Structure 1
Amino acid sequence: MNASTADLPVVVIGAGPVGLAAAARLIERDTEPLVLEAGPAAATAVRAWSHVRLFSPWSEVVDPAAEKLLAPTGWVRPDGATYPSGGDWADLYLQPLADVLGEKVRYDATVTGVSRAGRDRIVDADRDAQPFVIHCTGPDGTEERIHARAVIDASGTWSTPGPAGGSGLPALGEKAAAERISYRIPDLKDPAVRPRYAGRRTAVIGSGASAFTALAHLADLAKSDDGAGTHTTWILRRGISGSTFGGGEADQLPARGALGLAAKAAVDDGHADAVTGFRTDAVERDTDGRLVLVGEDGRRLEPVDEVIVLTGLRPDLTFLGELRLGLDERLQAPTALAPLIDPNQHSCGTVHPHGEGELSHPEKDVYLVGMKSYGRAPTFLAMTGYEQVRSVAAHLAGDQEAAERVELTLPETGVCGGAGLFDQPAAAEETGGGCCEVPATLAIGGPVSASGGC
C-alpha cells in the first residue's frame, strides 16, 4: 500500500448490523470508513422483516464498539434480557448508530462493481499497490467511482433468496406464477397482506426457522375470527425425524426451541399437513388458476392459493466479478472458513470464532463479512459477525496480534446441528433460515413467532 492509498477510506458495503459494526471498529482504530447503503435508511433489509422477532436477546445483538460510539449521545441499550423484533433492532439501535456515523454513511448508493484501479482480474503487475475502485449508482441513476484502500462487503444475502425448485434453480413455471409466490415470511398483521392468506390454502416450502415462523403464524391466523378455512401444506425436501423441529425444551436458545414447538403444534393440531421427500420440479395452474406443485418424482399436490418459499439465502457475487476471491465450491464461503461452518458438521454453537485469517482472499484487503461470509451455510451468529469485523479492522490498522486474538466465546447453542442433521444434497438451502439466522441474516438465530415466545 503506497502513501496515497493509505489516505483513502475503507469502503464498507451495507449499513446493516455487521456493516455498521465494521464502521465502528474502524473508527476505534483511527481508520476512516465510508459505508455505502443501497437503501434509503440504515438496515434496509432488517426493516423488510420488521414484524419478525429475533430469538436472541438485546444483550447479544449490540456490538461493543458501536455501543461506545452511541453512549455519548445518551443512548441506553434496551433491557438485555428482552428480545427485539427486526423493527426494534433497526429503530432502537441500528439507525441511531448510523446517525452517529453521520456523513460516513451514504444512502441510496448501490454498488454495481468493485475492481482494482486499472487492473481487471487477469492483470498481475503491481496489483496490490493499486487502490480499489467501487462503481456505484445514486437514486437518480447517476454513476460514481469511489477509491478505497480496502473493501469490506457486509451486504448480506437478503436480496437473493433460494428458489422453490429442488435443483437450486427455479422450478418450471415458478417465475410465471410470481404474483402468487412469496420468498419472505408474510406480515399477517398487515391489513394489506392478511386477506391474501386468510381462509385460503398456502404451501410453505422449507424446513428451517423461517419456515417454522411461517407455519406458526399461519396456524395463529387459522384460529382467528377471520381465519376459518386457512390451511397450510408444509413441504419438506427431506423426511421428518427427531431433529426436524429442533431441540424444543432442550435447546439452549429457549426462544428458538419454542419456535420449533410452535411449528410442531401447527401440524399436530391439524392446521398444517406435512409432505415429505418432495422436491419441486414445476409450478402449474389448475382450471381455477390455483397453483399445483409437481415433484421431481411426478407427484402432484393438491391446489393451493399461495406459495411461500423459504429455502435459504445465497450471496450475490455478481458485482465482485473483477476481484480474485477464494471461495469454497459448495458453500460459496471463503475457502479457509468453509470447513468451520459446514452445516453437515456444525451447529451455530460449534462454529469457532474466526477472523481476518479465515476471511482472507487471494485479492489482498477485500473481505466478505457477516452472513455473506457464510455463503449458503445457515449457521451464522451476530456475535460471530461482530468478532469478524473486530479482527479485520485490527489487521487493516496494522495490529496483527489483535487480529489473530480471539475475543469471543460462543455459547454451545443446543441441538440444532451436528453430523447427519442435513441428510439431503440441498439441505443447506432447504433450511431457509437454518439453525441460527434470521431472514435478514444477522441476528443470533432466527425469528420467533408471536405465539412461540420471545
Structure 2
Amino acid sequence: MSEQQPAHPTLPVAVIGAGPVGLATAAHLLERDIEPLVLEAGPDAGAAVREWGHVRLFSTWEEVIAPAAEKLLAPTGWERPDGRTYPSGADWADRYLQPLADSLDEHVRYGVRVTGVSRAGRDRVVDAGREEQPFTLHLTTADGREERILARAVVDASGTWSIPNPLGGDGLPALGERAAADRISYRVPDLNDPAVRARYAGRRTAVVGSGASAFTVLAALAALAGEEPGTHAAWVLRRGIGSDTFGGEADQLPARGALGLRAKAAVEDGYATAVTGFRTQAIERDGDRLTLVADDDRRLEPVDEIIALTGLRPDLSFLDELRLGLDTRLQAPTAVAPLIDPNVHSCGTVYPHGAKELAHPEPDVYLLGMKSYGRAPTFLAQTGYEQARSVAAALAGDHEAAARVELILAETGVCGGSGLFDEPDTAENEGGGCCAAPATVQIGAAPTTAAGGGC
C-alpha cells in the first residue's frame, strides 16, 4: 500500500449530503482514520429519501446496505432487516440511514446548506499556490446564519433530487409552465394521503414521462379509477412505444418488471391513453383546465392536473469556483460519462468505477452517487457504495486499493438506453428513474407503494 501525507491532515473531509452514499463515504473515511464532516441541509438523515418515503425500492435490503456502514452499525445493537425484502423510502431512512447517521454522531451536522465551495483565498482563475490551500465551504444554517469552514477535501454526494427537469421537450420550461405551477407536480404522488388523493380522483391527469416513475403513476391512477369514476390518465411520451417499453418478464429486477406489467394493463384496460411523439412546447390555461401543446402544434384534450416525470439534473451552482471536468451532455465527470451513457448502458451494464474516473482537474474534489451521474438515470446504490470505498482509499493515499474493483453487478435487463424506446431519449428517463429515483409497485398492495428505484 502506498501512503502519502495529505495537505492539511488535521482538517476534516467535507461530505455534502447525509444520504446513502454520503453516509457510506463517512463510514469508509472513519475506517481509514480520516475525520469526515457530513453536512446535511435537512433536519435528519436521508431528507431527500423521506420525500418519497411512500415509494418502495426495486432493490432488496441486501443491495442497499453498504458493507462499511454495517460494520459501523453492528456494535450499536442495530437490527439488520431481512435482506430478501424490499424497503420503502421511509423504511430505508428510518431503519438504516438515520441509525447510521446516529452512529456517526458529531461527524454529522443537520440544517446546514452548502452555498459555495472554493480554495481558501483563490478563485477558480488563480493558479499560484492553489493546491496548497485548503477548501473553504460557505454554509447557511436553518436559522439564516452564515458560516465558513475549512476542509482538506470535498465529497459532494448531494444527489439530484432537488432539481426536476421541466416539461419542455427542449429541456427548458414550456411556455406557460411556470404560470401553471399550482397544477403541476414533479413527484410521484402519495395517493394514500387523502388530500393528495382528492387532487386526482375523478379527474383527468396528464402523466409526462416514460420511466419507472411514470409507470408507477399510471398503475396508481388505474387503481384509483376503479374506485373513483372519471379518473383517467393521458400518458404523454416523447418517443414511441416499443416491444420492450414495459419490461415485464424481460426485466431481471422482478419488482420493476411487475410494475411495467401493471402500467401496460392500465393502458390496455382503458384507464390511460398513450400519446406518443409528443414534445411539449406550451401549456395553455383556460380557467381550471390545462392544454398541452406540442412542437408540431398538436394539442391534447384539456386536463385538470399534470404530473411531470421527465428526469432530474444536478445542482452545480455552489461548485462554480472549483475546476470541474464535466461531460457536456450528461454533466457527469468526463471519464464516467461514457461508462454510464443511457444510450448504451443499463444499470447492470455500468462498469464499476472509482476515484480515478471520478477525479476532476481540481484535486481532492469528488462528486459521488447520483450527483456523479449528472442527468443519466442508470444509477444503483451498490455502484455509489463502491465509489465511496475507492474515494476514501484515494484520500488515504492508498492508491492500490482505490484502483481495485470490489463490485460485480449482475445484468438488470430492461433499464433504459436503446432497448427502452424505439429511439433512445435520455431526457425522458426520469432522473434516477431507471434504477435510483423513486418509482413504485408493491405486488398485491396499494398502488401507491410500488417497487421503486434501485438506489
The bucket for the TM-score relative to the shorter chain is over 0.9
**Equivalent residue number for residue 166 of structure 2:** 163
- Does the 8 A contact of 2:415 with 2:435 survive in 1? no
Does residue 184 (structure 1) correspond to residue 176 (structure 2)? The answer is: no
Distance change >3 Å, CA 382–CA 447, structure 1 → 2: farther
**Equivalent residue number for residue 74 of structure 2:** 71
Select which of 132, 139, 143 maps to 1:129: 132
Distance change >3 Å, CA 377–CA 418, structure 1 → 2: closer
Select which of 108, 113, 130 maps to 1:110: 113
Select which of 41, 53, 70 maps to 1:38: 41
Per-residue Cα deviation, 1:273-328 (whole angstroms, up to 9, x for no partner): 00000000001112x42111011100111111100000010000000000000000
Distance change >3 Å, CA 42–CA 318, structure 1 → 2: same
Paired AA for residue 239 in structure 2: R
Task: List structure 1 runs of 4+ shifted beyond 2 angstroms.
Answer: 1-4, 415-425, 433-440, 446-454
1:433 CA drift (Å) = 4.5
1:428 CA drift (Å) = 1.5
CA distance in 1, matches of 2:328, 2:157: 20
**Equivalent residue number for residue 62 of structure 1:** 65
- SS state at 1:193 partner: helix
Please, what TM-score do these two structures have when normalized by structure 2?
Answer: 0.95
**Equivalent residue number for residue 443 of structure 1:** none
Does residue 437 (structure 1) correspond to residue 435 (structure 2)? The answer is: yes
**Equivalent residue number for residue 393 of structure 2:** 394
CA distance in 1, matches of 2:33, 2:327: 33
CA distance in 2, matches of 1:249, 1:437: 17
Q: CA RMSD in A?
A: 1.5
**Equivalent residue number for residue 275 of structure 2:** 275
**Equivalent residue number for residue 407 of structure 2:** 408
**Equivalent residue number for residue 84 of structure 1:** 87
Distance change >3 Å, CA 435–CA 282, structure 1 → 2: closer
**Equivalent residue number for residue 368 of structure 1:** 367
- Does the 8 A contact of 2:311 with 2:433 survive in 1? no
Does residue 448 (structure 1) correspond to residue 441 (structure 2)? The answer is: yes
Distance change >3 Å, CA 408–CA 20, structure 1 → 2: same
Paired AA for residue 340 in structure 1: L
CA distance in 2, matches of 1:130, 1:421: 47
Paired AA for residue 448 in structure 1: V
**Equivalent residue number for residue 260 of structure 1:** 260
Distance change >3 Å, CA 3–CA 237, structure 1 → 2: closer
> Size of the alignment, in residue pairs?
444
Per-residue Cα deviation, 1:227-275 (whole angstroms, up to 9, x for no partner): 21110000000011112112x1121110011111111011011110000
Paired AA for residue 193 in structure 1: V
CA distance in 1, matches of 2:426, 2:108: 33
Distance change >3 Å, CA 2–CA 27, structure 1 → 2: closer
Paired AA for residue 214 in structure 1: V
- Does the 8 A contact of 1:2 with 1:129 survive in 2? no
CA distance in 2, matches of 1:350, 1:26: 28
Distance change >3 Å, CA 394–CA 422, structure 1 → 2: farther
- Does the 8 A contact of 2:206 with 2:234 survive in 1? yes
Per-residue Cα deviation, 1:96-134 (whole angstroms, up to 9, x for no partner): 111111111101100000000010000011111110000
Identity of aligned residues (%): 74
Does residue 331 (structure 1) correspond to residue 330 (structure 2)? The answer is: yes
Task: Name structure 2 gaps, 5 residues minimum.
Answer: none
Task: Name structure 1 gaps, 5 residues minimum.
Answer: 441-445
- SS state at 1:11 partner: strand
The aligned runs of 1:99-248 (5 Å cut-off) are: 99-224=102-227, 227-246=228-247, 248=248
Paired AA for residue 40 in structure 1: P
- Does the 8 A contact of 1:343 with 1:422 survive in 2? no
Paired AA for residue 15 in structure 2: V
CA distance in 2, matches of 1:331, 1:82: 33
1:140 CA drift (Å) = 1.1
- Does the 8 A contact of 2:377 with 2:432 survive in 1? yes
Per-residue Cα deviation, 1:39-73 (whole angstroms, up to 9, x for no partner): 11110000000000001100000000101111111
Please, what TM-score do these two structures have when normalized by structure 1?
Answer: 0.95
1:4 CA drift (Å) = 6.7
- Does the 8 A contact of 2:18 with 2:46 survive in 1? yes
- SS state at 1:54 partner: coil
- SS state at 2:8 partner: helix
CA distance in 2, matches of 1:145, 1:85: 36
Distance change >3 Å, CA 424–CA 177, structure 1 → 2: farther
- SS state at 2:292 partner: strand
Paired AA for residue 217 in structure 1: A
- Does the 8 A contact of 1:417 with 1:435 survive in 2? no
CA distance in 2, matches of 1:378, 1:3: 34
Paired AA for residue 316 in structure 2: L
